[in-house]
Amino acid sequence: MPELPEVEITRRGITPALINQTIKTVTIRNASLRWPIPKGLDQFLVGQKIEAITRRAKYLLLKCTRGFLIIHLGMSGSLRISFDVTNVEKHDHFDLETSNGAMLRYRDPRRFGTILWSEVEEIAQHPLLASLGVEPLSDAFHGKMLYEQSRHRDLSVKAFLMNHQILVGVGNIYANEALFHAGICPTILAKRISLARYEKLANAIKTTLNAAIDAGGSSLRDFVNSEGKPGYFQQYYWVYGRGDEPCRNCGQLILKIKQGQRSSFYCRHCQK
């Protein structure tokens, strides 16, 4: 699943071609995504101007003249910019063409993604966004915030980091990597971690996410950027997906365990 770095890379990639452009045509080939694409959206969007493109957690928000287009990439979705409206493939479900000839194409083989429309005055109050936690790349995110939020929670630190009502967008890959760089075992209870260790973890999360963005994200299965190119951050994983391989730091074997429905990877020597 695309996580925060992949969604942020997508946002940065599509913005130059779409910002301040007027929507010329919209084509919906398959409206059956996680939630159906609203009926009539292909006609309603025409003539509206794209005024801003922002991100909240893993949601992309295209601010238009009369509201917001809300896009989530789901498990396998991607957005690409093209100036060629032909060459349609099987899983190309949604096209948005602008006045400068740019086309935003949504591709999603598994169809777990989302394309919705909202006219709420404050998009942050939309039901999909209102309960979301802190953005990890914002100034509001720091070790003290994690420490205070964790004091009475009887769950592992890994599950704590992946609770989107506390912290958004980190996801399984980057939680594993950040915990390794902070030297924290993913199974330790969140409430048992000190403020000093949470400060180190917050820095590790920011560093890991920024490094992933710089590397074009992780492409393990379906993710490609707005130019159709994969990321290469997976080449630099320290623990994720490396079960039974030697730790790059100490040489001991990386362990793989199940936490909930997710796999966790860690080094018993380097993470306590």
pLDDT digits (tens, 9 = 90+) for 206-248: 999 999 999 988 865 567 666 677 677 989 999 999 999 999 9
Q: What share of the chain is helix, strand, coil (3-state, %, to 5)?
A: 25, 25, 50
**Where along the chain do the CATH 3.20.190.10 domains lie?**
4-125
Assess whether 24 carries a catalytic annotation.
no
**Average pLDDT of the chain to the nearest whole number:** 94
Strand order of the sheet with strand 92-98? 23-28, 92-98, 103-107, 78-82
Q: Pick the catalytic residue: 34, 191, 248, 262?
A: 262
**The two three-digit tokens of residue 49, written as one number:** 């101007």
Cα angle vertex 263, ends 262, 264, to 5°? 120
Tokens 């967008």 sit at which residue?
169
Question: What is the Cα gyration radius of the chain?
Answer: 20
Instruction: Please indicate whether residue 58 is annotated as part of the active site.
Output: yes
- Is the pLDDT at 205 greater than 90, yes or no? yes
Residue 64 confidence (pLDDT) = 98
How is 150-184 classified by DSSP, letter by letter? Answer: HTT--SBHHHHHT-TTTB-S-HHHHHHHHHHHHT-
Q: In the predicted model, is pLDDT for residue 30 greater than 70?
A: yes
Percent of the chain with pLDDT over 70: 96
Strand partners, 63: 52, 68
Q: Please report the pLDDT score of residue 239 as a whole number.
A: 98
111 is catalytic: no
Which is catalytic among the residues 2, 5, 136, 186?
A: 2
Architecture of domain 4-125: Alpha-Beta Barrel (3.20)
Entry pTM? 0.93
Given a cut of 80, is residue 140 above it in pLDDT?
yes
Q: Of 55, 58, 158, 242, which residue is the catalytic one?
A: 58
What pLDDT is attached to residue 174? Answer: 96
Please give the share of the chain, as a percent, with pLDDT higher than 90: 88
Of 3, 6, 8, 97, the active-site residue reads 3
pLDDT at 2 over 90: no
When pLDDT is cut at 50, 70 and 90, the band that residue 47 belongs to is very high
Q: How many other C-beta atoms are found inside a 10 Å radius of the C-beta of residue 16?
A: 11
Here the tokens at position 125 are: 């109050």
258 is catalytic: no
SS3 146: helix
Tell me the per-residue pLDDT of 85-139, one tens digit each, with 9 for 90 and over: 778 999 999 999 999 999 999 999 999 999 999 999 899 999 999 999 999 999 9
Residue span(s) of the chain under CATH 1.10.8.50 come to: 143-266
CATH, domain range 143-266: 1.10.8.50
What is the per-residue pLDDT for 22?
A: 98
Per-residue confidence (pLDDT) for residue 87, from 0 to 100: 83
